[in-house]
Amino acid sequence: MRITNEKLTELINYKPELTRQPDFSVFWENNLKQIFENENYPKFLRLDLKEYSYPLRNIKVYKATMPAIDGTLIHGWYLYPAQANEENKVPALVRFHGYSSNKGKLCELLLWALQGYAVLAFDVRGQCGDTPDNRVYTTGSFAGWLTRGLSSPQDYYYRQVYLDCVQQIEALARRPEVSADKIGLFGNSQGAALAIISAGLLTKFSPLFPQLTAKVAIVNAAIPFLSDIEKAYREHSDGPWTELDWYFRMFDPFHKQEDKVFEILSYFDAMNFAPWVSCPVLMAVALKDTTCPPATAYALYNHLAGPKRIIPYVDYAHESIDNHTDEQIVFFAQKLLDKIT
């Protein structure tokens, strides 16, 4: 079913109230202190690289690892143009993957490295890559990751995921071949949320942590997950939100704790980080998406603080949008490569 012009206008104007709790900012400041006020913080802000044999002379390819602050070793890929060095720095991109996926294939990342970017792509801990999740949780959960640690904001799974993302961006910025002020973030679905949230955290809290060198210059966020969470849960018909259906069935069949659950999740709602994002943002929304309902993308978009553009794809559901890749290439090149005016 196609969305009518009237419905599209309603979506474009949809801007719900933020669901931040009173201590939202303090909560994230205190969690970032675990990294940047740790006396051993330099060891958490490095990429350990092992060269990977690949038949392209003009691109260096590495298997990368990074020690997270809880001891989990995060695995990924790192690529950059062979001519890049401390005297010839290049812009960098961080690619975040979708839910229940992993760091991806080299062929996906070469699209960007061959254009002149350094590219970093890590697993999200515990999902379907090489990276475990070494955290110990105080409660059980339903299969998947959406309900893991859903007893408090501090125990919740995505708290450490978001810290991992900030940590890897800063580790990338400290590489000698990278221009720390020309870093772009991108991803689809979960990856889109991680890009927005990371940009928000780094922009908001950089003034408090002088050790931070990373400057997020641009973000592409396509079909974002984890936005306007309560609405997404109530309007979904498939995808990861079904884990929350089962969580209530197994742990709270009469929804007596529903308000507490959504209060906890509000600390991790991408919409609540959007006002902290001031760099240019390109977004894509799929108007037939039943996993991340279109309204939840507009909720995030309409709270962004900087230059922004959103492209509605009328005939797409929750899936990769090939046409959007071309839009993203131009968008990043204009800001980071200075090749297009």
For residue 86, count other CB atoms closer than 10 A to its CB: 9
| Catalytic entry in 164, 228, 269, 289 | 289
For residues 218 and 221, give the distance between their C-alpha atoms in angstroms, rounded to a whole number. 10
| Catalytic entry in 101, 141, 189, 266 | 189
- Assess contact for 208 and 116: CB atoms under 8 A: no
Q: Does 189 qualify as catalytic in the annotation?
A: yes
**Strand residues in the chain grouped as ranges (E):** 48-51, 59-67, 73-81, 90-96, 118-122, 178-188, 216-222, 281-286, 308-313
Q: Tokens for 292, please give them.
A: 């991340």
For residues 334 and 332, give the distance between their C-alpha atoms in angstroms, rounded to a whole number. 5
For residues 53 and 84, give the distance between their C-alpha atoms in angstroms, rounded to a whole number. 18
For residues 161 and 145, give the distance between their C-alpha atoms in angstroms, rounded to a whole number. 11
Residue reference for tokens 């038949």: 55
For residues 119 and 183, give the distance between their C-alpha atoms in angstroms, rounded to a whole number. 10
Annotate 135-200 with DSSP letters as a single string: ---SS---SSSTTTTTT-TTT-HHHHHHHHHHHHHHHHHTSTTEEEEEEEEEEETHHHHHHHHHHH
Catalytic residues: 189, 289, 318
